[in-house]
A and B are shown apart, each in its own frame.
Chain A
Amino acid sequence: MLVLTRKTGQGIRIGDDIIVRILEEKEGRIRVGIEAPQKMRIFREELYNHIQQENLEASQWSAAELNQLKKTLISRTSDT
């Protein structure tokens, strides 16, 4: 990992079109501003990891489980 020390107000450029700027440091919390192209998705790491893990689990199912799910959804539909 590249490690850089920056002061408040200073920035880091990543490639041609990404700027990360340190905006404020207060009581162990650091506010960071990021400028990046619109198509780049930017997430807090824990949120990204959370959704990534959920997608991974959602992709893991068997044909037997799918058949069971269909029955479950049908019985649920006929209930309402």
Chain B
Amino acid sequence: MKTLQTRFGPVEYDPDQTIFFVQGMLGFEHLKHFVLVSAGENEFLFGLQSVEDTSVAFLLVEPGYYFPDYTCPLNAQQKALLGSDPEAELVVLCTITLHQDQSITLNLAAPVILDLKNKQAMQIVLEEGGYSSREPLPGHLTGSSS
């Protein structure tokens, strides 16, 4: 096991069990190996920590939690690249952007597809479906009024 010092705190990981990006995060395509970090008590909030550059990490959520109708069909090329077998369970995650004005948005236009079985991942860009790269996180500004 190795340890990374990150914004999540120390992250222990097995170098043989990292997530490999067959197509990287746009703008960070030189970074191939990441570790999925659970972010505390929120089971639907994840951290994606770069192994190669500890200063790079993303926060992600499962978009289906907020947008039940969200779909991101993979084409045959993308499926082949990801190397998933037919029974593979693919996880779809969207990055969260925290803005200076405290607003929170999800990038529905460029989700991260993760195959938990073969530990390969890719960021894809959805040109159809009309998804925004800055979709406001539903309801977060209403607070806990209950």
Binding site for B on A (CB under 8 A): 38-39, 41, 43, 47-48, 50-59, 61-63, 65-66, 69-70, 72-80
Q: Are A58 and B95 in contact (CB under 8 A)?
A: yes
Q: Is the CB of B144 within 8 A of A79?
A: yes
Q: From the candidates A39, A56, A65, name the one contacting B27 in the complex (CB within 8 A).
A: A56
Q: Contacts A69-B104, A75-B143 hold; do A54 and B97 have CB atoms under 8 A apart?
A: yes
Q: How far is the CA of A69 from the CA of B81 in the complex (A)?
A: 33
Evaluate contact between A72 and B140: CB separation under 8 angstroms. yes
CB-based nearest A residue for B55: A59
- The A/B interface has a contact count, at CB < 8 Å, of 101
What is the CB-to-nearest-CB distance from B19 to chain A, in angstroms, rounded to a whole number?
Answer: 16
User: In whole angstroms, what is the CA distance A66 to B127 when docked?
Assistant: 30
Binding site of B, secondary structure by majority: helix, strand, loop or mixed?
loop
Residues of B with Cβ closer than 8 Å to A?
7-9, 22-23, 25-28, 39-42, 44-45, 47, 56-59, 61, 77, 80-81, 95-99, 104, 107, 109-110, 123, 125, 127, 133-134, 137, 139-140, 142-146
A55 touches B7 (CB 8 A): no
A33 to B23, CA, bound (A): 22
Cβ–Cβ contact A54 & B7, under 8 A: no
Instruction: Flag if B97 contacts A57 (CB, 8 Å).
Output: yes
A-B contact pairs, 25 of them (CB 8 A): A38-B81, A39-B23, A39-B81, A47-B127, A50-B133, A51-B107, A51-B123, A54-B133, A55-B110, A55-B123, A57-B97, A58-B58, A58-B95, A58-B107, A59-B28, A61-B7, A66-B7, A66-B59, A70-B45, A72-B104, A73-B45, A73-B61, A74-B42, A79-B142, A80-B139
Chain B's closest residue to A44 (CB) is B127
Q: How far is the CA of A72 from the CA of B99 in the complex (A)?
A: 14
Contact check, B134 vs A54: say whether CB atoms are below 8 A apart: yes
A48 → B minimal CB distance (Å): 6
Q: Is the CB of A70 within 8 A of B42?
A: yes
